[in-house]
Amino acid sequence: MRVNFTVNGRPQEADDVWEGESLLYVLRERLGLPGSKNACEQGECGSCTVRLDGVPVCSCLVAAGQVEGRDVVTVEGLAEHARQRSCGDAHGTALDEARGRQAQGTDSQTGEGTELAPIQQAFIDAGAVQCGFCTPGLLVAADEMLERNPDPTDADIREALSGNLCRCTGYEKIMDAVRLAAARQQEAV
Amino acid sequence: MDFLRPASWEEALAAKAEHPTAVPIAGGTDVMVEINFDHRRPEYLLDLNRVGDLYEWEVGEDSVRLGASVPYTTIMERLRAELPGLALASHTVASPQIRNRGGVGGNLGTASPAGDAHPALLAAGAEVEVESVRGSRRIPIDAFYTGVKRNALAADELIKYVHIDKADGPQQFSKVGTRNAMVIAVCAFGLALHPSTRTVRTGIGSAAPTPVRAKAAEEFLNAALEEGGFWDNGKIITPSVAKQFAELCSGACNPIDDVRGTASYRRHAVGVMARRTLTWAWESYRGTAARSEGAA
Amino acid sequence: MPTNGAPTKITQGSRTKGGIGESTLRPDGTLKVTGEFAYSSDMWHEDMLWGQILRSTVAHAEIVSIDTSEALRTPGVYAVMTYDDLPTDVRNYGLEIQDTPVLAHGKVRHHGEPVAIVAADHPETARRAAAKIRVEYRELPVITDEASATAPDAILVHEDRTDHHIGHVPHPNIVHRQPIIRGDASEAAKRADVVVRGEYYFGMQDQAFLGPESGLAVPEEDGGVHLYIATQWLHSDLRQIAPVLGLPEEKVRMTLAGVGGAFGGREDLSMQIHACLLALRTGKPVKIVYNRFESFFGHVHRHPARLFYEHGATRDGKLTHVKCRIVLDGGAYASASPAVVGNASSLGIGPYKVDDVEIEAIALYTNNPPCGAMRGFGAVQACFAYEAQMDKVARELGMDPVEFRQLNAMEQGTLMPTGQPVDSPAPVAELLRRVKAMPLPPERQWESSEGADVRQLPGGLSNTTHGEGVVRGIGYAVGIKNVGFSEGFDDYSTAKVRMEVVGGEPVATVHTAMAEVGQGGVTVHAQIARTELGVAQVTIHPADTQVGSAGSTSASRQTYVTGGAVRNSCELVREKVLDIGRRKFGTYHPAWATAELLLEGGKVVTDGGEVLADLVDVLEDEAVEVEAEWRHRPTVPFDLRTGQGNGHVQYSFAAHRAVVEVDTELGLVKVIELACAQDVGKALNPLSVVGQIQGGTLQGMGIAVMEEIMVDPRTAKVRNPSFTDYLLPTILDTPIMPVDVLELADDHAPYGLRGVGEAPTLSSTPAVLAAIRAATGLELNRTPVRPEHLTGQA
C-alpha cells in the first residue's frame, strides 16, 4: 500500500508498504530517517519515540497505515521543532527561510555547524550520551516534557522518561542533562 | 495482509461484518507487538484511528460514556474526579508513550487477565457497549470476560464505548510489578466504595484466568459494614474485618506460576493490596464524611 | 556507501587544551543527538537483501532432516543455506575453542541455535520463507546442571573434544577447571573461632545492549566481502570469519559500524558469518538485524553460578582461611568460559588478605544458553558470594561489617591467592572509609505536604504503599577486578598516528581498530594525542581492519592498552617531528640539541617553556606517520594444579554503599542510593569516568533485584526472551549515585591509569543484597531477589 504523511514538516510518500510494517520501519528503511531506533520493537524501550500529531508515541507500535495524513516529528527534526517553538512559530517555517538554512549546509559527517535543540546540546554537555542508541528516543520524550513542564522536579523527569530504557549511563547524566536544559530554558526566558 | 481504513464508525462496522476475522487496531500496543514478533499474521487489520467517536467521552448525570480509544493519558488527566479508580489504573499502564495512544478498548479487546483497566472497571461497575451491523448491545462488565484472553464479543462486533458509573465514593487501585514503572502486572487489585448503595466492589487482575471480582469478600465486607453501622458512624474499620476481607480476596484468586511470579505470591499480594486499598479508601471516605458533616 | 563516516574532527582552542585530565566532550556527540550516527542496524545499500536465521525450537536434539525446498520456492527468496552449503571444511568458530557450528550439524545443543539462513528482498519475505523450512528433530535428554552434566551416563555435549583443556578436566562436560591452593586452609581452619558456610546462586544476566546484533555484508569485485559490523573486536571477528568463508583475511574487509552498547555480548560472533555467506552466495549486499527476541538467543549471557563458601575468622576479626567452589554454567558452547573460570578462581576470595585458601572453579558444558563475557567477567558472581560471607562472619563476630572488611583488606604488597603480589596501590580500606563517610540520604524522602509521593516509594507508580511496611536497610560491599587479558595472553594494541599540516594548522590523525561501543575511547584518544603532540585538532579515523589489531573492548582494557598504544605512537611521531626540527632549525638555537623538548600549543618548546619553532614550519608539507604495537607487561598462565602464577596485569577496586527501602509485606524494593568510591589511578576524562561508574553500578543493581534470564530446567528453553519479561531498571527504579573518584597512580600503567569500566558492576550487587538483608532480616542466598523471595512465597 501507499502511505502519505508529513515528517519533520515535509510531505513524504512511501510506496509498496507491507501492511504489517510499523511507522518505525517506514521511517528507517523507506524514508532514510534511521534516527529513530529499533531496540525492542515491543514498546518497552522508547528508543523509537517520535511525536505523532504532537504526542510522543512508540513508532514501533504504530502501523504504517495509521499515519496516513498525519504529522510526525523525529529526532532528525527536533532542532527545527525546537527552533520554531522558541520563535513562537507554530505553523512551520517559511519555505525560503528553510532553504536558506539548508544552503548554509552542515557537515553531515562531523556534525560541525549543526544547529541543535537545547535538549540535544544539554545531552552532549552533561555527558548523557554513551553508546547513544537510547538517545534519540530520550531526546524526543524529554523535549516534549520540557514543552509541557518547563520547571520539572526530579520525580517529574523520572516519570516522564520512565518509558525510555538506557543501558549505558545509569541515567544520572541524563537527569543532569534534562535539569541543565530546563535551567537554560528558564534563563533564556 | 490487508489494511482496512474506515473513516467512520459505520464504515468500521461494515468492514468488520464483511471481514469478521479482521483484527481491530487502535493504540497498537498488543497487535503491533504480535506482528513485529511474528506471532500473528491477521488477514486484515482494521484501523480504528480515524473513527472519531471512539476518542470522545461524555460525562453524564450518573455515568461516563468513555470512547474505547480515549487514551489513558486523557483518562488520567481529565477524568480523575469522575473515574478515580480507572485514572489510577491508567497511570500504571506501561509507559507515557503507550498511555498516549492506548485506550480501554484495547484492554477489553485483548481481555488479558493482566490488563490494567480491568480491576478498576470491575470495581467501579461498567458496561461495555458493543455494536455490529446487526445492532448494538451493552454487556455488563461481569459478563464480559469469558476465558483466558477471550471476551463476550461476537465476531462481527466492535467495542464502541464503556459506560462507567461515576464515582460516588473513594476508589483505589494497586498493582504489583517487579519494577517501579513500565511493568506488566504480577497481580493487581481495584476497590470502589459505593456509599449510595452502601456496597463495596472489587476487581482482581492477573491472579485468575480472567479478571475477577472477589464476591465473597465483597459480601462479607458489605455485611460487616452494615452490621457495625460503619457507613454512618464513619469509624475506622476494625483490623479483624480488614484482615478477613483480605483473606477472602486472596481466596478469590486462582493464579498460576509463571515468569512474572508464583501463584502463592499472587495470592499473598492480592490480600495485602486488598487490605491497604480498603484502608486508604475508607480513610478517605471518613475524611469526606467528616468534612460534609462539618459543612452541614 | 554505508560507512560510519569520514574522519571526525575535534577542534579545541589555540593552546593544547583538551588534553588528558579534562572532561572533553564526545567527538561523536553531535551525530548521536541528531540521529545521524550510523549504527550497524542503520546500514543501507541499494538492492540489498535481508537475511533471516532459522533457530532451533528445542534445546537438545538430533536433526533428522531439513527440507528447504518450499522456502526456496518462495518468490523474493534469493538463497537458503544449511550446514551442507558451507563453502569450506572450516565450519566451526569460537573465541578460544572452535566448538560452535556456523549452522547446526546433525545436532542442536541449545534452544535458539542457528540451523538455516535465508536471504530475501524484504524482511517479511525472509521470515515467511524461514518459517517454511521443515526441520525434523529427535529430542535428546537435556543437561542442565552439574549433576546431570557429570552423571556417569551423561550424554556428552561435545563428543570428540580435542581442545587443550580436555587433558585436565575431570569430565568431558566440564570445559575448564582451575584450582588455586595457597597455604593450608584445612590446617588454618583449626585456628578459627568462627566458621561460616554458605551456598549461593547467581542468576543468568543478559547484557541487553540496546542496539541489536546487526550488520551489512557487501560482496566485492575481487571475490571478497566488506562487512560493516557492530563488534567489540574487529580482528578477532576477522580471524574467525575468513576461514569459514574460504577467503584470505585481506579479502574480508571490516569496518566498525556504530555500536549500540556491548558489555561483553559482542565479543563472540553473532550474524557476521551468516551475512557474509549470504552476500557471497547471492552476489548482493545482505543486511541482518536481529529483533529483541532473537537477540536473547543471538549472544552469550553472563554465567549463572552456584557458589559454595567457607570462611573462618579469629575472635579478633582476622580471616583464617577461605575455601570455595564455584560452578559456572557455560551452556552449550565454550565461548569465554575458560577465561571466566580463571577470573572466578583467582579473584574468588575478594580484595582481602588471606594466607590459606583453597579455591576451585569449573565451567560446565550443558544444554542451557551459551554463556561468556559480560562486564565483570567471572569476578561478579564471586563478589556476590564472598561479600555475603563477609557480612555473615562479621555478624557472627559481632563486628561492624565495614570495620571487619577494613581489618582484612588487602594493601599494596599483599599476595593474591595465586601468589602474585599486588604491586600498585590497593586502597580497599580507604574506599570503604570514603563510601561510609558520605552523608546518608534523608529518611522518608517520599513524604510531601500532599501525602506520599508514590514515585519515590517501593512499587512506584503502581501505588502499592503509602509508607506501610516500608523499612530502610543499608549495606556495603567492595570488589576486585583484573584489568586487561590475563594468563599469558598476548594482549597488545596497535595505533597509527599521523601528523601533518592541514589548512595552515598542525593536525594529528589517530587510527586504531578499537571498537568504540559507547565507552568513550574515541574521546580519550583525542585527548592523548593533544597532550602528547600539542595540537588542537585531532582527527579520529574510523575503526577498521586496515590497521593492526586493537584487541577487545572488554576487560576494562581499552584506555590502558589502546590508549597506551596511542600514547606510544604519539611519542614516536614526536621524536620524528623533533628530528625534522633539529635537521631544519638545529643550528638556530642550542636548545634543539641540549634541552628536553615538548610539543605544546602547536609549537616546539623546551621544558623551560621557550618556544623554538612552530609545528607548521617544522612540518611544512611533510607528513609524519607511525603505526606501532604496544603491550602491557607480560603475564603467565596459572598453574593447572595449584593456580599459582603472575596471571594478572592490574587490579581495579570499587566499593559501594546501598540504601534501600523495602516494602516488607509485598517484597518490593526501592533502591534509594548507591554510593560508590573507586580508585581509577588517573581519570583521563573525569566526566566519562563517572558515567562508566554509574552505568556499571546500575547494571549491578539490575541483577540484584530484577534481571534474570529464566531457563526451564525440564526443557532448557528460555522462558522470557523479551523486554516485557526480562526487566531492565528504568529511570524510576534508579537510585541517586554519588561517586567519589580516587586517583592513586599505578606506576606500571600509562599516566598511572587504572581500568574503570567493570569494577563498579561487582560490588553494587552485593551491597544492594546486604541492604535488603538488613531491612528484612532474611538470608537471601540468591540473586536476583524478586518479591516472592522476600515474602516467603517463592
Q: Is residue C52 part of a domain?
A: yes
The arithmetic mean of pLDDT across residues C715-736, rounded, is: 97
Query: pLDDT (tens digit, 9 = 90+) per residue, B162-207?
Result: 999 999 999 999 999 999 999 999 999 999 999 999 999 999 999 9
Mutating which of C206, C290, C453, C462 best tests the B interface, going by the most B Cβ atoms within 10 A? C462
CB B195 within 8 A of CB B201: no
Please, which residues 350-389 of chain C have a Cβ atom closer than 8 Å to chain A?
none
The arithmetic mean of pLDDT across residues C572-576, rounded, is: 98
Q: How confident is the model at residue B292 (pLDDT cuts 50, 70, 90)?
A: low
Half-sphere exposure for C218 (CA within 13 Å, toward CB): 16
User: Looking at the structure, do residues C611 and C664 belong to the same domain, yes or no?
Assistant: no
Q: Is residue C194 part of a domain?
A: no
| Stretch (H or E) spanning B59 | strand B57-59
Q: Which CATH architecture has domain A78-90+112-188?
A: Orthogonal Bundle (1.10)
User: Looking at the structure, do residues C472 and C577 belong to the same domain, yes or no?
Assistant: no
For residue B7, the chain A residues in CB contact (below 8 A) are none
pLDDT, mean over chain C: 96
For C26, the closest chain A residue by CA position comes to: A124
| Stretch (H or E) spanning C528 | helix C521-533
The arithmetic mean of pLDDT across residues C47-57, rounded, is: 98
Candidates B193, B289, B281; CA nearest to B233 is B289
Cis peptide before C784 (omega within 30 of 0): yes
Least CB–CB distance from A170: residue in C41, C209, C697 = C697
User: Looking at the structure, do residues C33 and C50 belong to the same domain, yes or no?
Assistant: no
Candidates B126, B217, B116; CA nearest to B163 is B126
For residue B112, the chain C residues in CB contact (below 8 A) are none
**Grid cell at residue C158:** 561435545
User: Looking at the structure, do residues C610 and C699 belong to the same domain, yes or no?
Assistant: no
Is C518's CB within 8 Å of A44's CB?
A: no
Dihedral sign of CA atoms B149, B152, B155, B160 in order? negative
Q: How confident is the model at residue B124 (pLDDT cuts 50, 70, 90)?
A: very high
- Of A16-30, A109-123, B14-28, B189-203, the poorest mean pLDDT is in A109-123
* CATH number of residue C604's parent domain: 3.30.365.10
Interatomic CA distance for residues C782 and B171, integer angstroms: 38
Distance from CA of B224 to the nearest CA of C (A): 24
Is B91's CB within 8 Å of C461's CB?
A: yes
Q: What is the pLDDT of residue A105?
A: 32
CB C143 within 8 A of CB C154: yes
Topology of B171-295 in CATH? Enolase-like; domain 1 (3.30.390)
Distance from CA of C226 to the nearest CA of A (A): 21
Chain C contact present for B99, CB below 8 A? no
Is C695's CB within 8 Å of A114's CB?
A: no
CB C737 within 8 A of CB C695: no
Is A112's CB within 8 Å of C694's CB?
A: no
Which residue, C574, C605, C631, sits at the end of a domain? Answer: C631
Is A39's CB within 8 Å of C35's CB?
A: no
Interatomic CA distance for residues A122 and B65, integer angstroms: 44
Subunits next to A (3 or more Cβ pairs <8 Å) are: B, C
Is C670's CB within 8 Å of B280's CB?
A: no
For residue A78, the chain C residues in CB contact (below 8 A) are 34
Query: pLDDT (tens digit, 9 = 90+) per residue, B10-68?
Result: 999 999 999 999 999 999 999 999 999 999 999 999 999 999 999 999 999 999 999 99
Q: Is residue C594 part of a domain?
A: yes
Is C463's CB within 8 Å of B178's CB?
A: no
Chain A contact present for C459, CB below 8 A? no
Mutating which of C22, C32, C295 best tests the A interface, going by the most A Cβ atoms within 10 A? C32
Q: Is residue C545 part of a domain?
A: yes
Is B95's CB within 8 Å of A163's CB?
A: yes
Cα of A115 vs its chain's centroid, Å = 14
CB C758 within 8 A of CB C555: yes
For C788, the closest chain B residue by CA position comes to: B265
pLDDT exceeds 80 at position C135? yes
Interatomic CA distance for residues A175 and A154, integer angstroms: 8
CB A20 within 8 A of CB C34: no
Complex prediction ipTM: 0.96
Chain C contact present for B273, CB below 8 A? yes
Q: What is the pLDDT of residue B288?
A: 77
Query: pLDDT (tens digit, 9 = 90+) per residue, C372-428?
Result: 999 999 999 999 999 999 999 999 999 999 999 999 999 999 999 999 999 999 999
The arithmetic mean of pLDDT across residues C615-625, rounded, is: 97
The arithmetic mean of pLDDT across residues C36-43, rounded, is: 98
pTM of the model: 0.96
Is A66's CB within 8 Å of B37's CB?
A: no
Chain C contact present for A178, CB below 8 A? no
Q: What is the 3-state secondary structure (H, E, C) of C73-92?
A: HCCCEEEEECHHHCCCCCCE
pLDDT exceeds 60 at position A112? no
Chain A contact present for B97, CB below 8 A? yes
For C737, the closest chain A residue by CA position comes to: A172
Distance from CA of C120 to the nearest CA of B (A): 16
Which residue, C606, C631, C656, sits at the end of a domain? Answer: C631
Distance from CA of C645 to the nearest CA of B (A): 44
Is C733's CB within 8 Å of B180's CB?
A: yes
Domain segments of chain B as ranges: 171-295
The reply to whether A78-90+112-188 shares the fold of A3-77 is no
The arithmetic mean of pLDDT across residues C464-474, rounded, is: 97
Chain C contact present for A61, CB below 8 A? no
Distance from CA of C483 to the nearest CA of A (A): 20
Query: pLDDT (tens digit, 9 = 90+) per residue, C248-266?
Result: 999 999 999 999 999 999 9
Interatomic CA distance for residues B89 and B95, integer angstroms: 12
Chain C contact present for A38, CB below 8 A? yes
Q: Which residue has the higher pLDDT, A173 or A108?
A: A173
User: Looking at the structure, do residues C601 and C719 belong to the same domain, yes or no?
Assistant: no
Q: What is the pLDDT of residue C448?
A: 86
Interatomic CA distance for residues C306 and C782, integer angstroms: 9
- DSSP 8-class letter at A22: B
Is C292's CB within 8 Å of A41's CB?
A: yes
Mutating which of B97, B100, B184 best tests the A interface, going by the most A Cβ atoms within 10 A? B97
Domain that holds residue C123: 42-140+212-259+266-298
Beta-carbon neighbour count of residue B58 at 10 Å? 11
User: Looking at the structure, do residues C656 and C757 belong to the same domain, yes or no?
Assistant: yes
For residue C724, the chain B residues in CB contact (below 8 A) are 184
* CA A159 to each of CA A153, B94, C593, C605: distance values in angstroms, whole numbers, following the listed order: 10, 11, 65, 54
* CA A124 to each of CA A62, A116, C568: distance values in angstroms, whole numbers, following the listed order: 30, 10, 29
For residue C705, the chain B residues in CB contact (below 8 A) are 178
pLDDT exceeds 80 at position C11? no
Q: How many domains does chain C have?
A: 3
For B23, the closest chain A residue by CA position comes to: A20
For residue A37, the chain C residues in CB contact (below 8 A) are 39, 41, 210-211, 260
Query: pLDDT (tens digit, 9 = 90+) per residue, B209-225?
Result: 999 999 999 999 999 99
Helices then strands, each counted (H, E), chain C: 19, 34
User: Looking at the structure, do residues C763 and C779 belong to the same domain, yes or no?
Assistant: yes
Is B179's CB within 8 Å of C727's CB?
A: yes
User: Looking at the structure, do residues C762 and C714 belong to the same domain, yes or no?
Assistant: yes
Interatomic CA distance for residues C267 and C246, integer angstroms: 22
Distance from CA of A95 to the nearest CA of B (A): 30
Share of chain A above pLDDT 70, in %: 86
Q: Is residue C192 part of a domain?
A: no
Chain C contact present for A136, CB below 8 A? yes
pLDDT exceeds 80 at position C70? yes
Share of chain B above pLDDT 90, in %: 96
The arithmetic mean of pLDDT across residues C179-207, rounded, is: 98
> Which residues are C360's β-sheet partners?
C179, C325
Sequence-ordered list of residues with C-beta below 8 angstroms from that of C73, at least 6 positions apart, any chain: none
For residue C509, the chain A residues in CB contact (below 8 A) are none
The CATH code of the domain at A3-77 is 3.10.20.30
Interatomic CA distance for residues B2 and B96, integer angstroms: 30
Q: What is the pLDDT of residue A189?
A: 66
Domain segments of chain A as ranges: 3-77, 78-90+112-188
User: Looking at the structure, do residues C428 and C526 belong to the same domain, yes or no?
Assistant: no
* CATH number of residue C101's parent domain: 3.90.1170.50
